[in-house]
Amino acid sequence: MVTSIDIKKVTSRDKVVIDLDVWMDEPNDHDFAPRISLSGNNLEVRNLGGNELLGTIELDDDALQMAERDRSVEARIKFNVQGMHGTLLHKTPNPRNGPNAKKLAESRWKTVLPLQ
């Protein structure tokens, strides 16, 4: 289950792109299906099947115009799991080489979501 969603930034180039950090309870949670709706100037993120508002951000005029024109938003989602993606305390001094190099796993997802 999704614990929270942080909307990092919204950019508008050819289309509106939002960067999301999604925090999950466990690594085996596969119950995330984002739905995006437009309410006035605000972009709202919800999960499918739930009425709970997980994130909202206000769009500027250019991004609002592009979102209404395309009726879709590109979402770049980075999944994090509580307890797994924190601060790594014991790092190798130069992580690019050496057998003890440690890097946390990151799962990312990119999709185009229609506006509802």
Backbone phi, then psi, for 32, in 5-degree steps? -125, 115
| pLDDT the model gives residue 94 | 58
Distance of CA 115 to the CA centre of its chain: 16
What does pLDDT average to over the chain?
83
What pLDDT score does 98 carry? 61
Side-chain-facing half-sphere of 31: CA atoms under 13 Å: 10
pLDDT digits (tens, 9 = 90+) for 32-55: 889 999 999 999 999 887 788 999
Q: What is the pLDDT of residue 32?
A: 83
65: left (phi over 0), alpha (psi -120 to 50) or beta: alpha
80 phi and psi, to 5 degrees? -130, 150
| Alpha-carbon span 72 to 20, nearest angstrom | 16
Residues of the chain where predicted confidence (pLDDT) is lower than 70: 83-105
pTM of the model: 0.76
Residues of the chain above pLDDT 70, percent: 79
